[in-house]
Structures are given as structure tokens and as C-alpha cells.
Amino acid sequence: MILILGGTTEGRLAVRVADGAGSPYWYSTRGELQQIECKNGTHITGALDEAAMAAFCRDHDIRLLIDAAHPFATELHRTVAAVAESLDLPVVRVERVYSDGSGEPGSDRASLRWCDDYAAAVRRLEADGITRLLALTGVQTIGKLRPYWTAHDCWFRILRREESQEKAAGQGFPADRLVYYEEEDDASLIARLRPQAILTKESGESGGFNEKVAAAQAAGIPVYVVRRPALPAGFETVTGEHGLRKAIERLVPGFFPLRSGFTTGACATAAAKAALLSLLGHPVGESVEVLFPDGEILSLPIANICNSQGPACDGLVERRVLSGRALDRPEKVPTRAGKQAPAANSATAIVIKDAGDDPDVTNGQKIVATVAFSDEPGIHFLQGEGVGRVTLPGLGLPIGGPAINRVPRRMMEQNLSALYAGGLDVTISVPGGRELARRTFNPKLGIVDGISIIGTSGIVRPFSNEAFVDAIRREIEVAVAVGAPMLVINSGAKSEAFLKARFPDLPPQAFVHYGNFIGETLKIAADLQVPQVTMGIMLGKAVKLAEGHLDTHSKSVVMNKTFLKEVAAVAGCAPATADAIDSLTLARELWHGLPPADLNRFLSALLARCRAACASVYSASLTILLLDEDGNVFP
């Protein structure tokens, strides 16, 4: 059992992660103002002191505390630390992302005026002669800043809630000096009030810190910042969903029925970063930190690392984690005789792929990265043993180059360029990859000699079909319960974003992901008598659905060119369209690969087949919208 201490944006994140397990948990907030649905958890309210929290943990067999409270909730942090120590419980802190405070290019963190607490802020404001202040620190800080606002012009921005207004009145703060979040943005508020400065908390990106700083700096006024308090010792910190799930999997085995893992792209990035650190002369530890596409930083273990001044690579080096500023290329290294010898010309690191409980063909395989300096600027990706070579267009990768997909390339570029600004050659290898590729669809995609280095998030998310379909049912039940006028089903986050822009007035509960389970989703909609469904679908899934496959997973079905040519013929397309279909590698190439004169009639015929396939499980009003990669909609 898990107890989450929330009430914040991070609390919502923790609930999303915990709900994904399908296991029960507890979610605690001090007050009742946060409206949140815990699908598998129980929401309790009321402040817990040390005795109450300890008793709750004992009574409910709590095995893990997740602190997802506000960074300035110091009393709660201390309570969590005390309870964890007394009951020998682990604590995971869901921390906000704290950037450099530069909301816009040219902003300077050094120009921010940092204060250790509110008393220090008052002293500094007085010393600097600030007599007209906009305080963006929230209603809880009115009392702490009383010495300032009783003597000077000051406005506080608070939430427009009766509780907040009563709290401000109880402190004796004038009602006409209150401003509200809902009424105007930071820049407009500053322009209207014309303060000499703003005061804010180091509240992180989810607290709008960068936006406040940017607005003040654009207006040419100083920013005073109260530093976030230090967390108690012993908290394990994560900054996002992936890190939290990995921590729960490790600390509470069995809470998630299946373990998540890392993609080949994430493993290649970790290996490449470890190799570059070693090449630059820095020892590498048992793991390295990797920046993931969503902004999280996660650690991956390094199995082996060595430097080479020739073809061999047999010099093991001591390991120590290093990250941070860009480093200089070592041109020479000293020898015992005092002379200079050439630095190693390459370094190689190995990561063992852990796909969690996903049935991935690369699970347990070595992902190897060799990094060498290059006289050409930029990062250049080379094909190593067991990594495929691209031979056909349509994958968005250079023909003849290694089959390293775009997101893994960006991950490596981002992580390596943060350490070294010069040119690099990066060779990725997967020993045994040529044999593994026979168990994938790479040969049909024109990728030869090995596997692809893939992954759009860096994380492998395993799931059971039963649990996923059950989650879909629960989401549709919620949509019905809130009275959504229409159910909008979509394959994932990207298509959902496009559809939310198209239907901005629908409640968020109206949008449900079907993943690959189109048929199961429509069956549930029929069972619950949902009268109107709109489906957003991309071409890759549409060509499978049109053929009658209501489960569109790539492991179940692939694009059938013979079927597509039959659709084209029935639609009355010219023979050139059939020839164009024969030349395709991926379904999404249909958008631009067919003769323009035939495109609309082909897509219309394809959607008609999709509707016919869906009619077997859902007979009410169904609209199907075909989406391209940029969010354009057909018809």
C-alpha cells in the first residue's frame, strides 16, 4: 500500500502513475479544494500531524510514502521525514523541475535577487528602497510579509476562493489590494499596477516561475525570489512520471503487475554519454544520468567501459558519475617520462537492455556505443555491428545511414552536446542484432543487416491487454457520468492534442485513448449506450482497420499492399495509384505518395471500409476523422 501526500500539480502526476497500476492506494490532501479523481485510490482530507500519519501508516500497512506536496510545505516535509524514520519507510519526493529562471532569451538568473526566507526578503526590499511591490507568493505568505505591507504599497495575487479571501481578511490585508489569478496574465498585471518590483517564490516550472520572471524582466523591474527550502535528508527525488513509476516498481514490488523498461534509444544514449565522458578523461560511475524527451533525468546502469588508442578496447577505467557543463577535448595526456602522448582516440561503453516485462526481442542484449572525436562539426551517427541500414524512403532517415530513429538521435545529440561542443562520430552496435532483426518487421521496411534503435519516450511501458481494456471502460464510464455530449476516441497523446484543438468545448473526460484496441473501445461504447462517437485515426492504423482488423497492433497485423490496391481499384483510381502503392514503405506515405487526382477518392474509399469494419461492433453515430502528422484532418 502507498500513501501519496498531494494537493499540487505533482500530486495529480502521482495519481496518474498510481492509477496505471490498477492497485489500491491512498491520496491525502490537507483541504478539500483540489478536485481529483482517483480511479483506484482513496482520497482522504485533513492535515496529518506526526502521530496521525504514523498511526495511519501502521493501520493501513503503508510500505511507501510519496511526497508530492508543495515545495514550501516545510512542516509536511518534516512530518513525512519523521514518520519515515520511525517506521523505517522509504520516501519518494516528486519534485518540480527548476530551470535557470530565464523565461525568455537574454534573461539572466544572476540578476534575480535571492532571499533565504520571507524575513530576509523584507529586509532586502527595505534596503533597496522598494516601496511599491507586487507579491506573487500566495495568500499563505500575507502574514509573513506583514512588516512590509503595513508600511508600503503592496498587492497580493491570490486564488479567487472564499477560503483565500477570508484568510487575507483575517490577516487585516485590504481587500482592494488583492488581485486574482483568473483575471489577467503576469505582463498585463505588471503593466496595470506598475510596481517597482515583484516578489515570488522559487516555485519551479509548474508554478509558473519562468513566466513571472520573464514578465518582470520585460517590464524592466527587479525580481526578488524566496528560495525553496531544502528537503530533509533521505528522500529519493524524481521529476516525472517515468522516474516515479521506476521508483515504485523497485520499492514496492508487485504494485505494478508488469515492470517498465528502457528503449534501445535510451540505452544507446546512456552508453554514448558514458563513452564520451571517458573519452574526455573523466571517470564514469556505475550509472549515468540521461535527459529524456519529456525533460526527466533518469539513471541507467553502465555494464562496461573502456578507452582505446587503437583497434583494441581493453582498458577498463574507474567509474564515477559526471554531468554538467560542456567539457574540453583532451589533446594530450602526460606519460611517466614527462612527455605528451596522444589521448585515446575513441571510447566504448556498454549498456544491457532492460525492457522490463515487455516481450522485447532486444531484452538482455548489449547496446554498445563507441564515440570518437571528429574534425567535422556536429554529431555523426555511424552503423555498427547489428544495427540496420536504411535502404528505402519513408522512414524519415537518410538512405544508406544507420537505422537510428529520430527521437534517439535527438536524445544523443542533446545529452552529448551538453558535454562537448565539437564534432563527434557515434557508432552504435548491437552484437547479434542481425539475427534479432529476422524476428522484427525490419526486412519489410527495407532495413537490412540489423535492428533499429527506436523509442519515442525512452521508456518501454508494458501492459496487460485486460488491464488496458478495463482502463478504457472506466474512462468511458466517467465520460458518460459527466454528461459529455460526444465521446472522442483516439490512439494516443499526439492525436488527442489535435482533436482537443478541434473540439475545444468538450470536457477533458470526453477524450479516451484506444491505443490499438479500436474494437474493444467501440464495444464498450455500445455497451454503455454512448449515442455519438468521433474517432481520430492516423493512416498507419486506418489501413489495418479498413481491412477489418479491430486490433491494430503491429505484432498482430502489418500494412497489406494488395488490399490497398483493391481499395484503389474499387474507388476508380488510375493504374498509377496502384504503382505508387507498390513503392510505399510506410502507410503514412499515402498522404504524399499517391497521384493528387486520386488521393481524395482513395481516402474516402478507405474510410468507408473503416466504417464498415466498425459497424460490426458499434451501430450508433460514428464519425471517423483521418489525421496526418501535422494535425490536418480528412475529410
- Given pLDDT bands bounded at 50, 70 and 90, which one contains residue 608? very high
Q: How far is CA 189 from CA 220, 224, 243, in A?
A: 14, 17, 37
Return the amino acid letter for 551: D
Going by C-alpha positions, the residue among 62, 188, 201, 195 that lies closest to residue 130 is 195
What domains sit in the chain, N to C, each tagged with a CATH number?
2-95+233-251 (3.40.50.720), 109-226 (3.40.50.1980), 261-460 (3.30.2110.10), 465-634 (no CATH)
Mean pLDDT of 386-398: 85
Q: What is the mean pLDDT of residues 388-406?
A: 87
- Contact criterion met (CB below 8 Å) for 377 and 387: no
Confidence grade of residue 268 (pLDDT, cut at 50, 70, 90): very high
Instruction: Place 349 in a pLDDT band, splitting at 50, 70 and 90.
Output: very high
Closest residue by Cα to residue 610 from 540, 533, 543 = 543
pLDDT digits (tens, 9 = 90+) for 501-511: 999 999 988 99
Please state at what angle helix 465-481 crosses helix 518-527, rounded to 10 degrees: 40
pLDDT tens sequence across 556-592: 566 788 999 999 999 999 999 999 998 887 888 888 8
Give the model's pLDDT for residue 378. 95
Residue 101, pLDDT > 70, answer no
Determine what percent of the chain is predicted with pLDDT higher than 90: 64
DSSP H helices in 219-263: 241-251
- Residue 582: the pLDDT is 87
**Nearest alpha carbon to residue 240 among 462, 3, 458, 515:** 458
Higher pLDDT, 633 or 342: 633
Which amino acid makes up residue 124? Answer: R
Q: If you average pLDDT over every residue of the chain, what do you get?
A: 87
**% residues pLDDT > 70 (the chain):** 90
Q: Residue 402 above 50 pLDDT?
A: yes
Q: What element of type H or E holds 269?
A: helix 264-279
pLDDT band at 110 (very low <50, low <70, confident <90, very high): low
Q: What is the mean pLDDT of residues 315-340?
A: 41
Confidence of residue 311 (pLDDT cuts 50, 70, 90): very low
Q: Is the pLDDT of residue 43 over 60?
A: yes
Asked if residue 317 has pLDDT above 50, the reply is no
pLDDT at position 334: 35
Of 278-292, 469-483, 520-534, 587-601, least confident by mean pLDDT is 469-483
Mean pLDDT in residue range 583-612: 90
- Would you say residue 614 has pLDDT above 60? yes
What is the per-residue pLDDT across 621-631, written as a single tens digit (0 to 9) for each?
999 999 988 88
**How far is the C-alpha of 441 from the C-alpha of 402, rounded, in Å?**
16
pLDDT greater than 70 at residue 475: yes
| Distances in whole angstroms, Cα of residue 306 to Cα of each of 317, 346, 372, 380 | 6, 9, 12, 21
d(CA 39, CA 570) in angstroms, rounded, equals: 47
Which residues are CB-contacts of 307 (< 8 A; sequence separation ≥ 6)?
A: 278, 279, 313, 315, 317, 344, 346, 347
Mean pLDDT computed over 193-202 = 95
d(CA 570, CA 588) in angstroms, rounded, equals 21
CA nearest neighbour of 617 among 533, 497, 515, 492: 533
pLDDT in the model for residue 328: 57
The pLDDT confidence band at residue 474, using thresholds 50, 70 and 90, is confident
List, for residues 538-562, the tens digit of each pLDDT value.
988 999 999 999 987 655 566 788 9
**Per-residue confidence at 310, pLDDT binned at 50, 70, 90?**
very low
Cα 559 to Cα 545: distance, rounded to the nearest angstrom:
10
What mean pLDDT comes out for the span 435-445?
Answer: 81
Contact 7, 27 (CB under 8 A): no
Check pLDDT > 80 for residue 323. Answer: no
pLDDT at 346: 92
